[in-house]
Amino acid sequence: MRKKTTLAAAVLTAAALTLAACSGGGDGTDGGDGGDGGDPTEAVLSFYTDKAAWEPSFDDMNAASEGVTATLEFTGYSDPTAYDAFIKQSFRTDDKPDLFTWHTGDSLAQLVDEGLIAPTTEIWDAAIANGDVTEELAENYTYDGEQYCVPLNVVYWVMYYNKAVFEENGVEVPTTWDEFMDVGQTLVDNGVVPLHQMNIIFEFVWFQAILAGLDPDAYNGLSDGSVSYTDPVVVEAMNIWHDMQTDGFFIDPGVTTDPQTLLQTGEVAMAYFGTFFTGQLTDLGMVSDTDYGIFTLPNVSADLGDTSVVVETGPLCVGAGSANEAAALDYSAWWMGVDAQSAWSESRGDVSFNPGATVTDAALAAITEEVNGDGFLQLRRYLEATPTPIYTVASEQFGAFVTNNGDPMAVLEAIQAEADAYWAEN
């Protein structure tokens, strides 16, 4: 099968490439014509993605899907800007992509509004009824009552910790926010930096973690303009973050060492990341449940019933009007099932959105079972939940806040000014 990989023209830092790992169209002549009753198991789908490094995993998925459903003709981009431009341009031609990866949030809504993505509501209804996905996850793919695309993957944002550092300092995994703060203070008192933090790429995540665990309704309200960034509970979240920075809970954001190395060496005791972080620790030779552990971050507010956990998910989309649209929809339905997701999890060494899938890493399997069970509330990651113009300003403001630990209110007022302008027109 023909495979292509298009490399980025832009040069990214090694850290950015590592961390970005966490979150085209054929003419239909290479395979069966899914749209005209052809056998979907014989179809070869043109598949485009901005995850060029994932090609080995998609090769594994072709082996898993052979004789069951269609296979993929892989074209991978490493430059996300070039990739986004290519996908948008492809829909102006006769060579629309059968399948392609994209982004949730505003970016997906724009393609839906232009009629470029085939709806997948029936696939989602069947998958939810079968227990393959949660209704909460479906919200990430829902527009005007219909679902579009299926999840390519899912990432749960959790806390990684160095077990040796915890043991040496006599601290245990916290189950409440007060215990979490006590752990942090004990580490500070012992000369250990408790937490990792960045002023680029993931500069927003502690705002996300604190507000989601303080008031999930307010967190969600920021995404639709029903809550202001200057509302008291949002200000409270920023002040908590400010105090944690003041109290020495975070590493200097100017440190350029990769976070997985910092956790391995014990230069930080904990790192709040998506579950993709497991693969990066494995690459360093760290052993899950031996060298490091994982726990869900407790809610800030003890009055909340369910524990908030942030979910990051990226879509696998079917191009509307593509040569093999029907076969691509069949493939999407297969992708949601236990067999496909078990194969995907094994290949990627990561969690699956399907709670019935086999996850080989015991710690990740436990997290998957935990966050998909009773007592947990899944929330969209801030980046995807926030309209792009607002996020652009917020990322700049949060980056400066992480660097300088300045006035929290000034940060929120600057973001709200952009939010006011955005919601006035939308």
Q: Are residues 176 and 248 in the same domain?
A: yes
> Is 293 a member of any domain?
yes
Report pLDDT digits (tens) over 110-129: 999 999 999 999 999 999 99
179 and 136 part of one domain: no
Whether 376 is in a domain gets the answer no
Q: How much is the pTM?
A: 0.84
Chain segment 26-71, per-residue pLDDT in tens: 333 333 344 444 577 789 999 999 999 899 999 999 999 999 999 9
Residue 377 in any domain: the answer is no
Mean pLDDT score, 192-196: 98
pLDDT value, residue 424:
97
Over 50: is that where the pLDDT of 108 sits?
yes
Position 378 in a domain: no
349 lies in the same domain as 416: no
pLDDT higher than threshold 80 for residue 307: yes
pLDDT one-digit tens code per residue, 211-243: 999 999 999 999 999 999 999 999 999 999 999
Among 368-377, 379-388, 408-417, name the most confident range.
Answer: 408-417
Question: Which residue is it, tokens 């209804």?
Answer: 125
Beta-carbon-side half-sphere exposure of residue 86 (alpha carbons within 13 Å): 22
28: DSSP letter: S
CB atoms within 10 A of CB 400: 16
Of 331, 348, 371, the position where a domain reaches its end is 371
Same domain, yes or no, for 125 and 55? Answer: yes
CA distance 10 to 330: 35
Instruction: Among 340, 371, 402, give the residue marking a domain's end.
Output: 371
Q: Who has greater pLDDT, 3 or 302?
A: 302
Residue 120: inside a domain, yes or no? yes
> In percent, how much of the chain has pLDDT > 70?
91
Do both 346 and 254 map to the same domain?
no
pLDDT at 80: 86
Helix (H, G, I), strand (E, B) or coil at 105: coil
**Which residue has better confidence, 12 or 51?**
51
130 domain residue, yes or no: yes
Within this chain, do residues 211 and 186 fall inside the same structural domain, yes or no?
yes
The more confidently predicted of residues 360 and 161 is 161
Look at residue 228 and tell me if it is in a domain.
Answer: yes
Residue 12's pLDDT is what?
35
Q: What is the mean pLDDT of residues 175-203?
A: 97
Q: Is residue 19 part of a domain?
A: yes
Provide the 10 A C-beta neighbour count for residue 367: 21
Q: What are phi and psi of 44, to 5 degrees?
A: -115, 115
Residues 148, 270 within the same domain: no
Nearest to 381 by CA among 399, 394, 369: 394
Distance CA 354, CA 343 (A): 12
Residues 184 and 241 reside in one and the same domain = yes
Query: The CATH number of the domain where 110 resides is what?
Result: 3.40.190.10
Provide mean pLDDT across the span 152-156: 94
Query: What is the span of the domain harbouring residue 120?
Result: 4-155+312-371
Same domain, 270 and 395: yes
pLDDT beyond 50 at 6: no
- Mean per-residue pLDDT, 96-111: 93
Beta bridge partners of 291: none
Signed CA dihedral, 254, 54, 149, 96: sign only:
positive
What is the tens place of the pLDDT at every residue in 280-297?
999 999 999 999 999 999
Across 327-342, average pLDDT: 97
- What's the confidence (pLDDT) of residue 348? 87
CB 179 within 8 A of CB 298: yes
- Total domains, the chain: 2
Q: Is the same domain home to 13 and 151?
A: yes
- Residues 265, 126 within the same domain: no
- Of 291, 289, 297, which is closest to residue 261 (Cα–Cα)? 291
Mean pLDDT of 272-285: 93
The pLDDT mean for the chain works out to 90
Q: Are residues 359 and 402 in the same domain?
A: no
- Beta partners for residue 288, in sequence order: 292
